[in-house]
A and B are shown apart, each in its own frame.
Chain A
Amino acid sequence: MIITAWSALSPYGTDDQDFAQGTVSGRPLPDGPRPVPDFEPREFLGQQGTRAMSRATALSVATAARLLTEDDDRARTGLVLGTTNGSAQNILDVNRASLQRGKPYHIQPTVIQNAAMNSVASQTALWHGLRGPNATLAGGRSTGLSALGYCRRLLLTGRADTLLAGAAEELTEARTWVGDGTAPLAEGCALVRLERSASDGLAEVLAVASVVAVDGDLGTAVLKAADRVLTRTSPDRVWAAVGSGTSDDAESKALATVCPEATVLPPLTESLGQVHAASGPFQLAAVLSHAAASGPAERFALLTSAEPQGIAAAAVLRVKGETVVV
């Protein structure tokens, strides 16, 4: 499976280059909650149809727009998005309306629509006419890399020709509930474009694996997940490794242990902030940005995402700085 493109709206800015340059240079971001600066849905998407959109949906629609082409067969193009708890804010808002208004059913239909956990993915598909597989996945912070595994299955079984995969997270009151306070909450959307095979592309996804920590030992689960994917290359060939970031250094230690020769990039929580379900997709964008900045060469990269409750996911990519010929 080939990653042929990526796009990100991030706290670094609304352009892909903002993210790439910010990530590679390690530009510090402000303390506190980190929105996507200058992202005004109406400016990006127009007045029509944006009024009732959640911000996460707008981020997803705007990011997806950059990865689609006129030539794509939309009946064979799908979308797979990770999520934490859907739009927890809209779920909260439906409940509040039901509890606080004169009648328990005085709820705006648009809020009902946005509260559906599949809402961001299905509204993005609606906007862009994507009639291929449309899925939402909840796997905690490791959901982005798990979604890559799901996309691989969809593509290898011929269920789609092209998939966009990633996640959008918005800054809301409900989102602060799931923050652990160790990293600033960040907003954004990162998506990759995936195809089963392509004559050129940015990277090949060689393997994806997940391991559940059944005894609470997340560091060991990260190690095991990394070992599973590194069967597709040797650990001493890994050029760079990047983790999602954990509140202790369990993940960083695991990465340094499995591939001691690799450059371990700063965990996402230290560079971008806490992006929850969007961790994996932003890690992909970060690795591809670093590879592009390092010039064309074949390299292997290891990514791990850790859900603190006890899920570890890992992926290994074969990256060429610019393009990869399959």
Chain B
Amino acid sequence: MTGTPERVVLTGRGVVSSIGFGVAEFTEGLRAGRNEVAPLTAFDTTGFAYANGSEVTGFDPADWITRTPVDQLGRASAFAVAATRMALAEAGLAAEELRDRPGHISVGTADGEAQDLDALAADTVARGAEAVDPALVERAGTHRLAASIAWEFGLEDVTPMTFPTACSAGNYAIGDGLDAIRLGDADYALVGGVDAVCRRSFASFYRLGIMSPDRCRPFDADRKGILSGEGAGILLLESLTSARARGATIHAEVLGYGLNCDAHHAFAPEEKSIQRCMESALRDAGVRPEDVDLISAHGTGTKSNDVTEVRAIKSVYGDRTPPVISLKSMLGHTMGASAALGAIASSIAITEGFLPPTVNHRTPDPELGIDCVPNRSVPADVRIVQNNGFAFGGNNAIVLLGRYEESR
């Protein structure tokens, strides 16, 4: 890069989650340690010994979508558009104000328009390959998760990127928006992640033996795996110049990010590689480990993730490891949305001054030895948060957020 890169700040946040819509409800949910678990309704769960999860309830796309015919958006795209509308509202920006400015849209996902893909598969089983509905095929296009935002808000001068990089995808999307603004390619970026509960994902994780029967208990000695979750988190990032010029409220600064690949195993995470990813994120952010006040962990609640992740954290942070929490204890595993919701929760921890808890916690795993802020949120002065995202296939991405301070 030539010259000093633009500083990038967070000025709008949108949340669709099982514990609330919008930042206000999400904040209260995090503070209270809310966790809604119920039998899944997205598909017929007959034949599974258990099928519980945290679905988004009470979501009516028509409440959030005005320009696009609602039936042209699958559930994931509708979540993404709704969260974008909330982010613009919080930022105090009308879409018209963005139309003449170069922008960037990047959205992460694990499963794309998953319920539509499920439906296409079910159609072929029920009625044969010829039964495939072209309109549904069109709606199922993975690129639509980002493009639908451009269509709904009339944003022509944007690069719509959908990152289907599984469970770390939200951080890929945030990182790319950060770079696009740093390099001056874009004035603003709408970034985040989304996923909807689907049969394929549930059945796959169930088959792999990492689906918890009841609750998700990260860092607990008796943790039994993940729970299906869904939702969307969209962040409006701006250059500091842009945010200042319009007198925007700044919720956090995106300090930097890092990404790498384990190239080690299809399913099993690798400690050294995660350690290197953290080091590169900290370096990019210009942050020393002792300055980090909170780690929002990937924290899936599987045996393998939690022990590998905590070991990697300790290899970087040593005996000064800050509190390490898992939002998945409250939200379930929202897949491509998880890192984006983690980034939003990180900004809330900074502005509202509390550590979100790791709920459902009964017996600390002695092998881990961390403060996971068990069960109850704790008031705290939080200046810098590290937000982790890892994925099957070894796609790691970590974002650092900090309180906005004029001099850095």
Contact = CB atoms under 8 A, between A and B. Distances in A.
Interface of A: 74-75, 78-79, 83-86, 88, 91-92, 94-96, 98-100, 103-107, 109, 112-113, 115-119, 121-123, 125-126, 128-140, 143, 146, 149-150, 153-154, 156-159, 173, 177-178, 209-214, 221, 224, 307, 309-311
Given A91-B121, A137-B161, 10 more contacts: A92-B121, A104-B199, A109-B207, A117-B111, A122-B261, A126-B266, A159-B259, A177-B134, A307-B147, A309-B143
A104 B161 contact: no
Contacts of B154: 214
Contacts of B124: 92, 96
A134 B395 contact: yes
Which of B118, B183, B203, B276 has the most C-beta atoms of chain A within 10 angstroms of its own C-beta?
B203
Contacts of B164: 83, 86, 117-118, 136-138
A196 B395 CA distance: 22
Interface stretch (B216-224, B326-334, B386-394): B386-394
Given A137-B161, A138-B112, A143 B204 contact: no
Interface in B145-162: 145-147, 150-151, 154-162
A149 B106 CA distance: 13
A214 B151 contact: yes
A74 B262 CA distance: 11
A91 B116 CA distance: 11
B159 A309 contact: no
Given A94-B204, A105-B206, A119-B393, A136 B163 contact: yes
A212 B166 contact: no
B267 A85 contact: no
Contacts of A88: 117
A122 B156 contact: no
6 contacts: A107-B203, A112-B208, A122-B266, A129-B263, A133-B261, A150-B161
B142 A153 contact: no
Interface in B102-124: 109-112, 117-118, 120-122, 124
A116 B261 contact: no
B132 interface: yes
A212 B165 contact: no
B157 A123 contact: no
Interface residues of B, number: 76
A135 B112 CA distance: 15
Interface stretch (B172-180, B233-241, B317-325): B172-180
Nearest to B270: A131
Contacts of A136: 163-165
Nearest to A85: B142
A219 B154 CA distance: 17
A150 B105 CA distance: 12
Given A96-B125, A116-B393, A211-B156, A74 B263 contact: yes
B284 to A, nearest CB: 8
Contacts of A119: 393
Contacts of A84: 141-142
Which of A122, A210, A213 has the most C-beta atoms of chain B within 10 angstroms of its own C-beta?
A122
B73 to A, nearest CB: 12
B112 A126 contact: no
Contacts of A211: 156-157
A154 B142 CA distance: 22
B155 A214 contact: yes
Nearest to A130: B263
Nearest to B175: A159
B391 A92 contact: no
Interface string B165-206: 110000010001001101101000000000000011001101
Nearest to A107: B207
B393 A95 contact: no
A126 B204 contact: no
Given A85-B142, A130-B261, A309-B147, A139 B120 contact: no
B206 to A, nearest CB: 5
A157 B1 contact: yes
Which of B138, B161, B391 has the most C-beta atoms of chain A within 10 angstroms of its own C-beta?
B161
Nearest to A212: B150
A212 B203 contact: no
B150 to A, nearest CB: 4
B1 A135 contact: no
B166 to A, nearest CB: 5
Contacts of B125: 95-96, 99-100
A139 B160 contact: yes
Interface in B42-91: 45-48
A166 B262 CA distance: 20
Given A137-B162, A212-B150, A214-B150, A132 B122 contact: no
B47 A103 contact: yes
A132 B276 CA distance: 11
Given A107-B207, A214-B150, A156 B163 contact: no
Contacts of A309: 138, 141, 143-144, 147
A186 to B, nearest CB: 19
A149 B155 CA distance: 18
Given A74-B263, A135-B163, A173-B129, A156 B122 contact: no
Contact of A125 (B45, B120, B121, B394): B394
Contacts of B162: 137-139
A153 B183 contact: yes
A132 B261 contact: yes
B165 A135 contact: yes
B172 A85 contact: no
Contact of B122 (A95, A116, A159, A224): A95
B140 interface: yes
Nearest to B154: A214
B97 to A, nearest CB: 15
